[in-house]
Structure formats: C-alpha cells, structure tokens
Structure 1
Amino acid sequence: MKDIPADQAEAAASHLIQTRLRTLFEASAEGRPPYTEAEVARELTKAGHRITAEGIRNLLRAPRINPKASTLRALAQFFDVPTGYLLGDQEEPEEHSRRVRVMARSITKLSPAAQDGIAVIIDNLLRVEETVRGGDSKKPNHRPGPEQGLDSADQ
C-alpha cells in the first residue's frame, strides 16, 4: 500500500473536518435556522473556549485547517457529538440513523410493559453518561436531526 504524501493527508483531513463541521452547522432543530459562526463562537467562549466568529469562519472555509485539539473538543461538545466524529473516527450519520431505525422497529414488537422498561433503561443510561461526561442534562441538544441523518429518537 502506498503512503499518502503529508500535504495530501493534511488536505484530506482538513476537508473531512470542514465537511462534518458544515453538516453540524446546518443541522438544527426543526424550525430553527442553521447556526452562525458568531453564535457558535459566543457559545464556545461562554463554555470557556475563547474563539472568535472569524476563527470559526476560518475553520469552515480556509483551504487548509489545523485546529487545536481543544477547539475540536469544544466544537464536539457544543454539537453533542464525539470528537472522533469530526476526525472521521466515528460512523457516518447515515449508518447511525440506520441502526437507530432498526432498534426502533424492534422495540415496536415488544409489549407496552417491555417498551416502558426499555425507556427506563435508556433514561438511566443517559443520566450515567451525562454524569461521566460531567455534562449538564439541561444543555440544549445540537445534534443533527432526521433530515441530517440522525433520528429524533437519538437526540
């Protein structure tokens, strides 16, 4: 297998990060316009990661980007996705959406009591994960919706 030259690898990584960031910016709850650079910069700064709207704009549009790991983590946290998603380490939203739909179809075959049990388990797992991440369960959800490849059940 041939090694990819470093400059091509950097360009590919830049393109991947930018593509996924654009998807996250455009993904919004129904009835809400896409996120703006200024809005995301303001929220990241409020959360303790200083960045300007210009800095966000550069991440989205510059020919090549090399964001700091802390910036990627802050963006991932804001959009409520794993940092690995921005780097290409996570599955595509379409595959994730497919898996969620399969699970939802399976759950509909269960009795109402079993469905209630599954709902309790999911709620408990969400609380555990929030605790582990140190997150705030009241934080608004910024994940892509169904039109961007993730089912609302996943939000």
Structure 2
Amino acid sequence: MSESHEESPALGSLAERINYLFASIAPEHGDRPEYTGKEVISWLRQRGYELSASHLSELRRGIKTNPTMRVIDGLARFFAVRVGFLHGDPDAVRDVMAEIRLRRALREAQVTDIAARVAGLDPEQRHAVANFITQIVYEQTTGKDGNPPGRSTPDK
C-alpha cells in the first residue's frame, strides 16, 4: 500500500475539519502549536468577515453545524485551503490533508528550495509529491518493512 490511511483522521464533521486546521497549521512566527480563536477572528474581521468568538467556538465544538458560505470562505482563506475541504468534499479533504503534510514537512525541515519548486505544480502533482515525502519520512523512522530500523519482520 503506497498511502498510510491509518494516519489520517476521519474528519467526518465540520467541527473535526476546522479543528484539524487549527491543530495542523501552526502560526508562521513563534513557537505556538496553533492559532488562537482570537487571531482567526481578528484576521477575518479585518477582511470584512463577520464571525464572533462564540460562533467560532460553537463551530469547533460541533454545536453550530451550518455556517454561512461567507464564514466558510473566510476560514478557508485564513488557513489557505480549498473551500471544498470545509464542505467535506472527499477529493478536497484528501488533497488538503496531503498539502498540509507537505507544508508541515517543509516547515519542519526548513527546505524552502523544495517548496519553491513544488509551488508551481498542479494539485494532483503536489499530492503525489506530498505522498512521496511522507513515504520517505515514514521509511526513515520505521524502516522500509514498517519495523523500527534494525528489526526485521518475523517469518510467517
């Protein structure tokens, strides 16, 4: 199997998808693991989007499940993802998750040269590159057979 599906969260609800974005896309500056709701609200309001802190909190907790298209658009723009991701479109979810894995790998490794080269690719090609990088990282940490380096698979 070329992709590892067990690593991917289900993301079946809007709340799960929003929380995935918060947990997966860290602020560019600073050592914080995720944006605060206050930062998101401030950014949205500066650009004409109306969203209160309580509404965002209710979206994240799954209490509110049907925000306006404008709110969805604003959140997608803030996190720089396709709107279809927040709507739960399976192709968009797959592509955005692959892109986020790639963004994280590039950020963690600080390999801006690769980022510049990947930027011009179409979404399908970026997805392939993200999967390739994910597989390399997986093999580096677990070994090609899925076991820790130096351990072999037991005979069956």
1:44 aligns with 2:44: yes
Which residue of structure 1 lines up, in the alignment, with residue 16 of structure 2? Answer: 19
The 2-side partners of 1:76 and 1:94 are apart by: 13
Gaps of 5+ in 1: 1-13, 101-114, 127-145, 151-155
Give 1:62 deviation, angstroms.
3.7
Query: Are the structure 2 counterparts of residues 15 and 95 from structure 1 closer, same or farther at C-alpha, using a change threshold of 3 Å?
Result: closer
1:1-155, aligned counterparts within 5 Å?
Answer: 16-27=13-24, 28-29=26-27, 31-89=31-89, 90-92=92-94, 93-96=96-99, 119=117, 125=120
CA distance, structure 1, for counterparts of residue 17 and residue 51 of structure 2: 19
Structure 2, unpaired ranges of 5+: 1-10, 103-112, 122-129, 135-156
Is residue 17–residue 86 contact of structure 1 (8 Å, CA) maintained in 2? Answer: yes
What SS does the aligned partner of 1:58 have?
helix
Runs of 4+ aligned residues of structure 1 deviating over 3 Å after TM superposition are: 93-98
Match of 1:105 in 2: none
Map of 2:109 onto structure 1 = none
CA deviation map 1:43-90 (0-9, x unaligned): 100111021111111111143411000100000000000000111211
Change (3 A) 1:80 1:97: closer
**1:42–1:52 contact (8 Å) kept in structure 2:** no
Cα deviation for residue 17 of structure 1 reads 1.1
Alignment RMSD (CA, Å): 3.7
* 1:113-146 Cα deviation digits (max 9, x unpaired): xx99x83xx56x49xxxxxxxxxxxxxxxxxxx9
Residue correspondences, number? 98
**Aligned CA distance change for structure 1 residues 97 and 49 (closer, same or farther; 3 Å):** closer
- CA 1:94–1:83 in 2, change beyond 3 Å: closer, same or farther? closer
Quick one: distance in 1 between partners of 2:55 and 2:100?
Answer: 31
Compare relative contact order (CA 8 Å, sep 6+) and give the higher one, 1 or 2.
1
Paired AA for residue 16 in structure 1 = S
Structure 2 counterpart of 1:91, one-letter code: V
